[in-house]
């Protein structure tokens, strides 16, 4: 099988030119700002990349804790499959984590294909609108509505089919830099096979409308079951107020991430508003206060990934 390399100034244009010549995309990365793609046609393989394309990490990058506060309103960039990506953790915490606020302004069919990722963790949460998706071994396509969440275990094949206009999702992945691999052989849906694991994790679909609110510290939370599905690797909940403040003790793992879904609040005195996000170092105590009645927060924590590897 022959292989050649092309360095280009515009990756999207180079991919379009190759696809018109009968090539298909086998690999592309990073999803939020593609710099490298591999395409094939019969026995011919082409690797096309921009001059500043980063290499994929050989292993899991070392975690570098930091406080990060990202405000809403930053212009998103063009990502994979026509989606718009806003970076929520610009520091990437040493390359360990990426969090993206992804939108599809126009809605309708999505130019996606059956694909998978080599990741240690990947979560998708719907902030606004709806999206229709299909997953390997999970039966027929289904619609994720506002407040719904899926855990995409490592290597599971999936595809985004269509979305409402103005769809917004929050995606969190480990490591920050990872590739999207096409699977040209598997057609989805491919039936339903409950109970399977992928990379040691279980597929999980959290449906907000079916989930009760339960006490959580000084507030209430919808728990998602991510802890069970990841064998304790991560926890995800949606938080709302039930009193004047919610105080958080230091975390014994790595990531402490919050995304403002609605309402307003303060984080240790700093104001928070819809679509703001933050990362708190795990050894730090922190408090949410001044929460409005419509305050809702997506709250994500992870354990020590090195210990789990």
Q: Residues 158, 242: one domain?
A: yes
Contact at 8 Å (CB) between 265 and 291? yes
Q: Residues 38, 68: one domain?
A: no
Weakest mean pLDDT among 77-86, 175-184, 249-258, 274-283: 77-86
Residue 254: domain span:
58-309
Q: Residues 207, 87: one domain?
A: yes
Whole-angstrom Cα distance, residue 88 to residue 85?
Answer: 9
Q: What is the pLDDT of residues 93-112, one digit of tens each?
A: 999 999 999 998 888 998 89
Contact at 8 Å (CB) between 100 and 86? yes
For residue 52, report the phi and psi dihedrals to the nearest 5 degrees: -100, 20
Q: Residues 39, 70: one domain?
A: no
Domain count, the chain: 2
Q: Is the pLDDT of residue 308 over 60?
A: no
Q: Is the pLDDT of residue 77 over 80?
A: no
Q: Is the pLDDT of residue 113 over 60?
A: yes
For residue 309, what are the CA distances in angstroms to 58, 218, 303?
14, 33, 11
Average pLDDT, the chain: 94
Residue corresponding to tokens 């490591």: 175
Q: Taking the model in full, what pTM does it have?
A: 0.94
The CATH number of the domain holding residue 30 is 3.30.720.120
Q: Residues 207, 99: one domain?
A: yes
Q: Residues 146, 226: one domain?
A: yes
Q: Is the pLDDT of residue 81 over 60?
A: no
Whole-angstrom Cα distance, residue 163 to residue 207?
Answer: 17
The CATH number of the domain holding residue 227 is 2.60.120.10
Which residues are within 8 A (CB) of 144 and not within 5 positions of it... i.e. 6 or more apart? 124, 126, 130, 131, 132, 133, 150, 205
Among residues of the chain, what percentage have pLDDT more than 70? 96
Q: Residues 102, 18: one domain?
A: no
Q: Residues 28, 174: one domain?
A: no
The stretch 147-173 carries a mean pLDDT of 97
Q: Is the pLDDT of residue 73 over 80?
A: no
pLDDT at 32: 83
Q: Residues 96, 157: one domain?
A: yes
Higher pLDDT, 223 or 83: 223
Q: Residues 115, 216: one domain?
A: yes
Q: Residues 62, 170: one domain?
A: yes
Q: Is the pLDDT of residue 168 over 80?
A: yes
Q: What is the pLDDT of residues 191-232, one digit of tens each?
A: 999 989 999 999 999 999 999 999 999 899 999 999 999 999
């Amino acid at each position: 099988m022959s292989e050649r390399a092309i360095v280009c100034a515009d990756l999207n244009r180079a991919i379009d030119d190759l696809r018109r010549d009968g090539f298909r995309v086998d690999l592309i990365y990073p999803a939020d700002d593609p710099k490298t793609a591999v395409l094939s046609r019969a026995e011919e393989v082409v690797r096309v990349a921009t001059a500043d394309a980063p290499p994929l990490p050989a292993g899991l990058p070392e975690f570098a804790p930091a406080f990060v506060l990202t405000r809403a309103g930053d212009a998103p960039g063009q990502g994979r499959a026509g989606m718009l990506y806003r970076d929520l953790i610009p520091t990437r915490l040493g390359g360990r984590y990426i969090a993206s606020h992804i939108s599809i302004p126009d809605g309708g069919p999505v130019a996606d294909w059956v694909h998978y990722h080599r990741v240690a963790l990947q979560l998708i949460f719907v902030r606004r609108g709806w999206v229709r998706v299909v997953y390997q071994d999970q039966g027929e396509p289904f619609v994720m509505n506002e407040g719904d969440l899926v855990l995409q275990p490592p290597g599971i094949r999936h595809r985004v089919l269509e979305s409402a206009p103005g769809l917004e999702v929050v995606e969190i992945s480990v490591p920050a830099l990872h590739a999207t691999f096409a699977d040209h052989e598997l057609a989805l849906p491919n039936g339903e096979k409950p109970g399977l694991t992928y990379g040691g994790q279980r597929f999980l679909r959290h449906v907000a409308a079916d989930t009760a609110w339960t006490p959580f510290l000084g507030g209430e939370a919808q728990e998602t079951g991510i802890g069970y599905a990841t064998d304790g690797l991560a926890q995800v909940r949606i938080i709302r107020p039930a009193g004047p403040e919610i105080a958080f003790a230091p975390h014994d793992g790595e990531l402490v991430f919050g995304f403002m879904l609605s309402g307003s609040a303060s984080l240790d005195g700093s104001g928070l508003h819809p679509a703001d996000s933050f990362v708190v170092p795990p050894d730090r105590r922190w408090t949410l206060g001044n929460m409005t009645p419509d305050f809702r927060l997506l709250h994500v924590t992870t354990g020590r990934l090195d210990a789990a590897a």
